[in-house]
Amino acid sequence: MSKKNVEDYLTEGIYGTRLPKQEERDYFLGTLRERIVIALTIGQVMTDKGLQKLEETMKEHRKATLLFNGKIASKFLTAEKELAKKYNIPYTVISNEEVDTDIGAVLTYNYAIDKETIFVEDEKQEPDTPAKEENNSPGILSKLKKFFR
For the chain, the three-class secondary structure string (H helix, E strand, C coil) is CCCCCHHHHHHHHHHCCCCCCHHHHHHCCCCCHHHEEEEEEHHHHHHCCCHHHHHHHHHHCCCCEEEEECCCCHHHCHHHHHHHHHCCCCEEEECCCCCCCCEEEEEECCCCCCCCCCECCCCCCCCCHHHHHHHHCCCHHHHHHHHHC
pLDDT digits (tens, 9 = 90+) for 107-121: 999 999 989 999 988
pLDDT digits (tens, 9 = 90+) for 24-74: 999 999 999 999 999 999 999 999 889 999 999 999 999 999 999 999 999
Higher pLDDT, 138 or 31: 31
Residue 108: strand pairing partners: 36, 65
* pLDDT category of residue 97 using cuts at 50, 70 and 90: confident
Written out in words, the top-level CATH class of the domain with range 21-148 is alpha beta
Backbone angles phi, psi at 93, to 5 degrees: -100, 120
Would you kindly state where each structural domain of the chain is located, as residue ranges?
A: 21-148
| Contact residues for 108 (Cβ-Cβ < 8 A; gap 6+) | 28, 31, 35, 36, 37, 64, 65, 66, 67
pLDDT averaged over the chain? 84
* Three-state SS letters, 84-101: HHHCCCCEEEECCCCCCC
The one-letter amino acid code at 143 reads: K
